[in-house]
Amino acid sequence: MKEEQKVIVVYKSKYGSTKCYAEWIAQAVKGDLFESSEVKSADLFKYDTIIFGGGLYAVGIIGVDIIKNNFEQLKDKKLIVYAVGASSGKEEDKNNVLNNNFTAKMKEKIDFFMLRGAFNRKRLNLIDRFLMWILKLKLKSKDPKELKSDEKGILDCYDTPMDWTNKEAIIPIVESINNR
Ligand SMILES: Cc1cc2nc3c(=O)[nH]c(=O)nc-3n(C[C@H](O)[C@H](O)[C@H](O)COP(=O)(O)O)c2cc1C
């Protein structure tokens, strides 16, 4: 990475997976690390590269509005977004998340990555537990052959706590900054 590049790593995480990846990434790229509530839009403008990570909830990337709402001012910077979910990040799931969260113009400019987080139903707050229960009922009522891979992933970990967080998964993100 060129000496003068300033990198900020911002994250929003509910249960810690996205935070864990943000810490690994910030350490690897020597970036400044912030939880999204600690950052104002004006802080982002001071950096050359902005990396945002958010947990995936019902195909939405939590906290990503900080990038979307400031997109016009940020679009000429290097913009990286990663979403952390239970999904294995297959192309189909990735496109689904991209289309659900970004406009065509944003998709062109933003380097987007999917990372795999963790899931433990017992650690969820009451609302999330209820939402997951509704989702499970909905998925169970579908023909198993019709399930998308992220839906299968959710059913697989509903009763079994899983932790897929893996430091090596940040390599493509770190490389995309270093190869700038
Ligand atoms: C209510 C709820 C909805 C979720 N929706 C999705 C989803 O749409 N896609 C996905 O891949 N994972 C989904 N997950 C799994 C989370 O994204 C996963 O646990 C992730 O590691 C959370 O990151 P965090 O700990 O940083 O918040 C959902 C989890 C909950 C509790």
Question: Where do the structural domains in the chain lie, given as residue ranges?
Answer: 7-118+163-178
Q: What is the pLDDT of residue 148?
A: 84
Mean pLDDT of the chain: 93
* Residue of minimum CA distance from atom 16 in ligand 1: 85
pLDDT (average), residues 128-149: 92
* ipTM of the complex as predicted: 0.99
Is the minimum distance from the CB of 164 to ligand 1 under 6 angstroms? no
Query: Is residue 104 very low, low, confident or very high in pLDDT (cuts 50, 70, 90)?
Result: very high
Report whether pLDDT(2) > 80: no
pTM above 0.90, yes or no: yes
Helices then strands, each counted (H, E), the chain: 9, 8
* Residue 89 CB coordination number (10 Å): 21
pLDDT (average), residues 1-17: 87
Is the minimum distance from the CB of 84 to ligand 1 under 6 angstroms? yes
Distance from residue 180's CA to the centre of ligand 1 (Å):
30
pLDDT in tens, 21-36: 999 999 999 999 999 9
Q: What is the pLDDT of residue 180?
A: 59
* Cα angle value 169/172/28 (rounded, 5°): 75
C-alpha pair distances (Å), 59 with each of 16, 56, 87, 150, 160: 18, 6, 10, 10, 21
Rounded CA gap, 57 and 155, in Å?
15
Pick from 154, 159, 160 the residue to mutate for probing ligand 1's pocket: most ligand atoms within 8 Å of its CB.
154
Query: In the CATH scheme, what is the homologous superfamily, with its name and number, of domain 7-118+163-178?
Result: Flavodoxin domain (3.40.50.360)
Query: Is residue 151 very low, low, confident or very high in pLDDT (cuts 50, 70, 90)?
Result: confident
pLDDT (average), residues 75-103: 94
